[in-house]
Amino acid sequence: TSVEDWARSDQYHNSFLHSKDEALDYALQNSAAHDLPEIAVSAAQGKLLNLQARSIGAKRILEVGTLGGYSTIWLARAVPADGEVITLELNELHAKVAQENLDHAGVSGKVRIIVGPAHESMRRLEPAPPFDFIFIDADKPGNRDYFTEAKRLVRKGGVIIVDNVVRYGRVADPEYTDQMVEGVRTLLKALEGDTDVDATSIGTVGDKGYDGFLYAIRK
Comparing CB distances to ligand SAM, the nearer of 1 and 183 is: 183
Comparing CB distances to ligand SAM, the nearer of 120 and 198 is: 120
Give the shortest CB-209-to-ligand SAM separation in angstroms.
Answer: 13
Distances (CA, A) of 82 to 63, 87, 156: 17, 16, 21
Give the shortest CB-130-to-ligand SAM separation in angstroms.
Answer: 21
Q: What is the number of other CB atoms lying within 10 angstroms of the CB of residue 200?
A: 10
Comparing CB distances to ligand SAM, the nearer of 76 and 195 is: 76
Give the shortest CB-193-to-ligand SAM separation in angstroms.
Answer: 27
Give the shortest CB-5-to-ligand SAM separation in angstroms.
Answer: 22
Q: Residues 14-23: contacts with CB within 8 Å, 24+ apart?
A: 14/43, 14/44, 17/47, 18/43, 18/44, 18/47, 23/73, 23/101, 23/104, 23/105, 23/106
Comparing CB distances to ligand SAM, the nearer of 28 and 174 is: 28
Give the shortest CB-195-to-ligand SAM separation in angstroms.
Answer: 28
Comparing CB distances to ligand SAM, the nearer of 70 and 213 is: 70
Give the shortest CB-219-to-ligand SAM separation in angstroms.
Answer: 26
Give the shortest CB-172-to-ligand SAM separation in angstroms.
Answer: 21
Comparing CB distances to ligand SAM, the nearer of 28 and 190 is: 28
b vs e for 112-133, b when ≥16 Cβ sit within 10 Å of the residue's Cβ? ebbbeebbebbeebeeeebbbb
DSSP strand pairing (197-206 vs 209-218): antiparallel
Q: Which residues bind ligand SAM (CB under 6 A)?
A: 39-41, 65-67, 70-71, 88-91, 94, 117-118, 137-139, 142
Comparing CB distances to ligand SAM, the nearer of 94 and 157 is: 94
